[in-house]
Amino acid sequence: MSSNIKVQRICQHCGNEFTARTTVTQYCSDTCSKRAYKARIKAAKIESSNKETQQIKTRPIEELKAKEFLTVTQVSKLIGCSRQNVYKLINAGKLRATNILQKKTIVKRSDIDKLFKGPTNRTQPEGIPETQKQELNNWGQAGGFDISECYTLTEVQSKYGISETALQDLIKRNSIPKIKKGWFAYVPKTVIDKLLS
């Protein structure tokens, strides 16, 4: 049964306006229909090829994630840094490692995960930029005092009525551990309280 419908539509391939006999016609001619089909097949092949390439690129990383023990070179590839930085993390005590042979250092995969787990109970003073907070956390993780256990130099001066010069002299004379980040310098509360109370 022939259709008497005539509607104006836009060809989905060439973009030209044409008169269609159905409301669902997408192409103005058989040529455009075939070209659109070839374009879809080509796009699908390109997408498939790109996915395959991505899988090949990520396969080494996925294999490293599955290993229980890694060398320093493998750790550097996994976390995206140089071998020297991995050794710095090990020497700073932030990453546990074992020397099983001379020039053969092994790192446990679970210890790498622990490296990136932030501290859960650390508190930060208000008004400190995020970059400084991160540096203070790093200081704490390296074995320093928790920032919640420290005074700023201004807080010490205010609490004990001591001048800045006298406080600096006290810190130097007693070898009090101090961290200076940006505008803030921190000293342990327990040490200061013991000396000034």
Q: DSSP letter for 181, please.
A: E
Contact (Cβ atoms closer than 8 angstroms) between residue 87 and residue 99: no
Q: Closest by alpha carbon to 120, among 141, 90, 143, 135? A: 141
Burial label, 131 (beta-carbon count in 10 A; 0-12, 13-18, 19+):
exposed
Name the one residue in this structure whose structure tokens are 């013991």. Answer: 194
Q: DSSP letter for 15, please.
A: -
The vertex-28 CA angle with 25 and 33, nearest 5°, equals 80
One-letter identity of residue 139: W
Q: Closest by alpha carbon to 159, among 136, 184, 133, 187? A: 187
User: pLDDT band at residue 1, thresholds of 50, 70 and 90?
Assistant: very low
| 32-56: pLDDT as tens digits | 999 999 999 999 999 999 888 887 7
Contact (Cβ atoms closer than 8 angstroms) between residue 97 and residue 137: no
Report pLDDT for 118. Answer: 56
- Where helices occur in the chain by DSSP H, the ranges are 30-66, 72-79, 83-91, 109-116, 130-141, 153-160, 164-173, 189-196
3-state secondary structure of 188: strand
CA gap 99, 105 in Å, rounded: 4
| 79-135: pLDDT as tens digits | 888 888 888 888 887 888 887 766 788 888 888 877 777 554 444 445 555 655 655
pLDDT over 80 (residue 160): yes
Residue 14 region, left (φ>0) first, then alpha (ψ -120 to 50), else beta? alpha
Report pLDDT for 66. Answer: 75
The region of weakest confidence among 76-80, 152-156, 176-180 is 176-180
